[in-house]
Amino acid sequence: MKATSLNALLKARAEKRDVALVTDLESGAEALVVDGLAEGDLALDGGLSGAVKKAMAANESRRVEENERSYFILVLSQPLRLAIIGAGHISQYLSSMAAMAGFEVTIIDPRTTYATAPRFPGAELNHDWPEEALGALGIDRRMAVVALSHDPKLDEPALATAMKSDAFYIGALGSRKTQGARRERMKEQGFSDADLDRIHGPVGLDIGALSPPEIGISIVAQIIDVLRPKKKGIAPK
């Protein structure tokens, strides 16, 4: 890697931005792509530009062939993050399982007696109100938000904030009746059906989960299912 590319890459990573380094495997020419803009001595024309976009969308480094030349696309994305609203029993299992799946987990609950380090080892704890906490975290396309407090005062502001963001997954605990009542309340706040359809609720894959550990498993499974749609033959957006 050339010094100019390395310096630009380190700067972008420090700023928590997704990057791709594209290298011509024959000439050594490079282009660093940050926020859709390319810099370097390699021109990203036509099919190569599209290949870079696909690699970044899939978060996969890959070798590609374009115009009878070989290129390697190195993708460096920010870590996957999960914000959990509410520090109950389900949240404890979800936090642990999500961490094992590679997520950086933040527990958001202003009730300090629930959101404690002994109950959530390894997770970041935030005792602000959800809209403030999520605003400080900066929701992006690498972040999932799950509302599990079962308290509208906590869950609904979090869901409202998430629906206005690029979060790749939004989930909410509650029965279909609870989901329906919440949906009507949030419609009155100005959210459209398209906005509300982004919420996965009842949260988790329908695997018949009953206990907190089972529900935690179903939620992690659904998050991964949404994250990697290509496994079902659907191209990532």
Identity of the amino acid at 168:
F
pTM: 0.79
In a domain, 236, yes or no: no
Give the pLDDT of residue 104. 96
Write the DSSP assignment of 131-200 as a string of letters.
HHHHHHH---TTEEEEE-S--HHHHHHHHHHHHTS--SEEEE-S-HHHHHHHHHHHHHTT--HHHHTTEE
Q: Are residues 88 and 13 in the same domain?
A: no
The CA-based diameter of the chain, rounded to the nearest angstrom, is 62
Q: How confident is the model over 119-176, as pLDDT tens digits?
A: 999 999 999 999 999 999 999 989 999 999 999 999 999 999 999 999 999 999 999 9
Say if residue 129 is in the same domain as residue 197: yes
CATH number at residue 116: 3.40.50.720
> For a pLDDT cut of 70, what percent of the chain falls above it?
96
Question: 17 and 88 share a domain?
Answer: no
Instruction: Give the range of the structural domain holding residue 197, as residue numbers without chain letter.
Output: 81-231
Number of domains in the chain: 2
Tell whether 105 and 127 lie within a shared domain. Answer: yes
Rounded to whole angstroms, how far apart are CA atoms 57 and 49?
12
